[in-house]
A and B are shown apart, each in its own frame.
Chain A
């Protein structure tokens, strides 16, 4: 038969499909009728017990698989609901409770402190006394105890030190180190150790013989002040007035 148009072609195809579907339907019926005719032969047939045992195990595994799938999908749904609820409460607490908001952002800042842009202090000309000309070290002392003069300085890639001495030969040094791996080892007994706050960071004030050491961490840098001849409150004042160069 010649197919004249696309419509005719489609129509023929549909007819063919239906015809074959009908054949299939009849074939299925025939199979069932054949089996019905032989029912007497299979109705009382004893199937092997091993087959039943196999199916029992097979079915158990199948049910377990289905249950696991159901559990996973329901667990994911529950976890999603809980996560959303959790995030919702976090958001609500952050916006309404001030203390929580501070703690929350504080935690974020702690985690990202390596990359946090810390506000630098504007260079005040009268602030940078007792420093080498064109000082480009990361830190400088904006307060120097009376009588002390700069005698030595050094800086290199985020590290450096400043040494000050007075007329009595008493020295204090300020040094700082930064880098991926930084370690400070210092000597002290527990009883000579005090904890103080410098730049909102916990600092360790140690005394050994005539030497006072003050150590703390600021922006992942280790800062140290060591001095002979300075009192505790003075060394703390020096530390508090340390500034970062812009």
Chain B
């Protein structure tokens, strides 16, 4: 079946949706399978992901670029986490268990912190991802992809309120990382 799609040599005739699927379906399936370890579940997640992507197709301008690639990966992996947690009835580890209740207060990042840590962006992102991949993903969707909370919620099957909460926690985690001098290389 895919061969049929690939036979359409004239790329102009292939639309955006088609291009996305052909370019990324393998790695997206891989991302889903890594989390779910089940072919059927992974297939299900990919299908769900594309149904959601189609609603925001206008937000994707270039097909073959890191921005689009990361966007798709974030959606697929969050849907996969959601499916995994649903199946195993797992409650995700809360941020407060790591940093305590007080961590939620005062999430403002100071000017000094901003200036001093800009160049360590990569490490900070990695650290945040290690704490909770969902926090990093939601933060990215909100600030890099500039999606609204309801849009994020719709993409990754979360309520708008929960997105706000996780966003808040993501920022708090980041602040804690900055203030504690988190060891970015810690595995």
Contact = CB atoms under 8 A, between A and B. Distances in A.
Contacts, number: 131
Contact of B26 (A29, A43, A50): A43
A59 B69 contact: no
A35 B26 CA distance: 11
Interface in A63-90: 63
B174 A23 contact: yes
A19 B26 CA distance: 32
B111 A15 contact: yes
B39 A27 contact: no
Given A24-B142, A32-B69, A35-B30, 5 more contacts: A22-B121, A23-B128, A24-B141, A32-B66, A47-B29
9 contacts: A1-B110, A12-B111, A24-B144, A27-B129, A31-B73, A47-B25, A49-B1, A51-B43, A59-B21
A30 B126 contact: yes
B26 A62 contact: no
B15 A63 contact: yes
Given A23-B124, A24-B140, A56-B1, A48 B66 contact: no
A38 B2 CA distance: 23
Range class of the A interface residue count: 35 or more
B118 to A, nearest CB: 7
Range class of the B interface residue count: 35 or more
B46 A35 contact: no
A22 B125 CA distance: 9
Interface of A: 1, 12, 15-17, 19-32, 35, 38, 41-43, 45, 47-56, 58-59, 62-63
Contacts of B25: 47, 51, 55
6 interchain residue pairs of minimum CB distance: A24-B144, A28-B70, A42-B30, A24-B140, A26-B125, A20-B143
Nearest to A33: B66
B80 to A, nearest CB: 13
B112 to A, nearest CB: 8
Contacts of A47: 25-26, 29
A241 to B, nearest CB: 77
A1 B18 contact: no
